[in-house]
A and B are shown apart, each in its own frame.
Chain A
């Protein structure tokens, strides 16, 4: 099998257009290796053949596998202290205040194996209890989406090994919200019932997802090209309700990518608030 350079270009364009993943010049070798490994696993003899296989895949599953091969699913519970301080002090109390008069919706836009979405569910539960209104937690609907169906399978299973469970989770939360099953920890049914997962490619139109009162789009746009980031944040602006927050990863910024949000600093966390009028 010979992997020809121009065929690689073809594949690179496919990956950028369909998965958003930007292949930086200089990192091409690494990417070429990983894509070639996937092509081989699929039994393709060339990138050309891989390209036609990818084009023919109408299920979208192969795109997920391409992303799995080229990015990491790395995530953990309560990732970034500053963000969770914001959530505890501002984000979640605000959600619960609104929940008193009807359901509110939260979106984890690159949910990976579920830790981010479940962290929100745990914090919502804790906060609602401490307000003496535990029933309000049930009115906060949490949606986790990802392009990787394998990652989502694990998210839905809600089972974590010793290593994953120690990353970011206090003993108290672990005892309260997880059940021990051999060497594995399984999220409680109650928390699980408050989080829904589905496969979604951020390259696709967001309209079908509906509006949200809080959106987390963390550590996924880092893989995307500048143009696509702009486009994505512009589309996200359409689903974040006016006055509601969009949160990015601690190392990411909306600067230069969207005019439709106003940055608000809470301690060391920047929340991007959707402007009410444009």
Chain B
């Protein structure tokens, strides 16, 4: 399971990595949208992208639009992790194809529940 975290904050990426260790995911990281695109080119298809919104060089919304237009990446589920809990923005991100939206700060349970849902890991629960 490959998960790409795109966030300009080192400490958030670090915290997210630790949280994802619980489900044993292989972790990839990038500090802005451009680096995120490079990472996709370099490391191939991801199972999930965790995407910050406010970033230098290329912000989350632009990254999202780009990825959703690319047939190679458009099916990768994206969870937005944003510090701004703004309804309009959330609607826009979902319309652009993001699967879920989580507002910072979040606990590891909150993130893991979203990740499990986005990846449909709970499909087989009896």
Residues on A lying within 8 angstroms of B by beta carbon are 1, 36-37, 40-41, 43, 61, 65, 68, 72-74, 113, 148-154, 156-157, 159-164, 182-184, 197-199
B18 within 8 A of A: yes
Q: Write the residues of chain B forming the contact surface with A, with a CB cutoff of 8 angstroms.
A: 18-19, 21-24, 87, 90-91, 94, 99-101, 108-109, 112-113, 116-117, 121-122, 125-126
Contact A43 B94 (CB under 8 A): yes
Q: Give the distance in Å from the alpha carbon of A225 to the alpha carbon of B126 in the complex.
A: 28
Q: A40-B91, A41-B100 are in contact. List 12 more A-B contacts (CB 8 A).
A: A40-B90, A41-B99, A41-B101, A65-B117, A74-B109, A149-B122, A150-B122, A152-B122, A153-B125, A157-B22, A162-B18, A183-B18
Chain A residue nearest to B95 in the complex (CB): A43
Contact of B113 among A1, A73, A184, A197 (CB under 8 A): A73
Distance to closest chain A CB from B111 (angstroms): 11
Q: Chain B residues with Cβ under 8 A from A184's Cβ? A: 21-22, 24
CA distance A41 to B102 in the complex (A): 10
B101 cross-chain contacts in A, Cβ below 8 A: 37, 40-41
Please determine whether B90 and A37 come into contact, CB atoms closer than 8 angstroms.
Answer: yes
5 interchain pairs, CB-CB under 8 A: A40-B101, A153-B125, A157-B22, A157-B23, A199-B126
CB atoms of B109 and A61 under 8 A apart: no
Say whether A164 contacts B108, CB under 8 Å: yes
B123 to chain A, nearest CB (A): 8
With A156-B125, A159-B22, A161-B21 as known contacts, state yes or no: A36 contacts B87, CB within 8 Å.
yes
A152–B126 Cα distance when bound, in Å, is 9
Min distance, Cβ A278 to any Cβ of chain B, angstroms: 33
B39 to chain A, nearest CB (A): 22
Q: Are the C-beta atoms of A40 and B94 separated by less than 8 Å?
A: yes
Inter-chain contacts of A162 with B (CB < 8 A) = 18
Most chain A CB within 10 A, of B21, B23, B113, is at B113
Residues of A within 8 A of B99 (CB): 41
Chain A residues near B125 (CB-CB < 8 A): 149, 152-153, 156, 197-199
CB neighbours (8 Å) of A149 from chain B are 122, 125
Minimum CB–CB distance for B79 against chain A, Å: 10
| B94 smallest CB distance to A (angstroms) | 5
Smallest beta-carbon distance A112→chain B, Å: 9
A198 to B125, CA, bound (A): 7
What distance in Å separates the Cβ of B48 from its nearest Cβ neighbour in chain A?
14
A50 CB to closest chain B CB (Å) equals 13
B108 — which chain A residues lie within 8 A by C-beta? 161, 163-164
A68 touches B87 (CB 8 A): no
User: Per a CB cutoff under 8 Å, which of B18, B94, B113 touches A150?
Assistant: B113
